[in-house]
């Protein structure tokens, strides 16, 4: 079992400070929700990031495609058991 110690100080429902055993304090906050802007019915964009849902001939979503400045058209496909 680890003997590391730390201290948490809750500043609000959305923020806390974590103090390490070395004495370094880091402030964390709850991630803020965001809503991407629709480009078309299956494509959404936030800044330079684009998410596109890909459909088969029947209209069922079969993949999600992610594009950002570092990665282009990374495809995540559904798996069938």
What pairing do the DSSP bridges indicate for beta strands 7-10 and 15-19?
antiparallel
What whole-number distance in Å separates Cα of residue 29 and Cα of residue 13? 9
Contact, 55 vs 63, CB < 8 A? Answer: no
pLDDT digits (tens, 9 = 90+) for 14-36: 999 999 989 999 999 988 887 88
Instruction: Answer yes or no: is pLDDT of 51 > 90.
Output: yes
- Other beta carbons within 10 angstroms of residue 49's beta carbon come to 13
pLDDT of the residue at 67: 95
Domain chopping of the chain, boundaries: 1-31, 37-77
Contacts of 55 (CB under 8 A, 6+ apart): 42, 61, 62
User: Percentage of the chain surpassing pLDDT 70?
Assistant: 96
- pLDDT class for 79, splitting at 50, 70, 90? confident
């Amino acid at each position: 079992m680890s003997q590391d110690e730390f201290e948490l100080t809750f500043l609000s429902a959305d923020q806390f400070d974590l103090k390490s055993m070395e004495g370094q304090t880091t402030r964390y906050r709850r991630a803020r929700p965001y809503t991407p802007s629709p480009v078309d019915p299956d494509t959404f964009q936030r800044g330079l990031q684009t998410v596109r849902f890909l459909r088969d001939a029947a209209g069922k979503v079969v993949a999600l495609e992610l594009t950002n400045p570092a990665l282009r058209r990374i495809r995540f496909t559904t798996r069938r058991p």
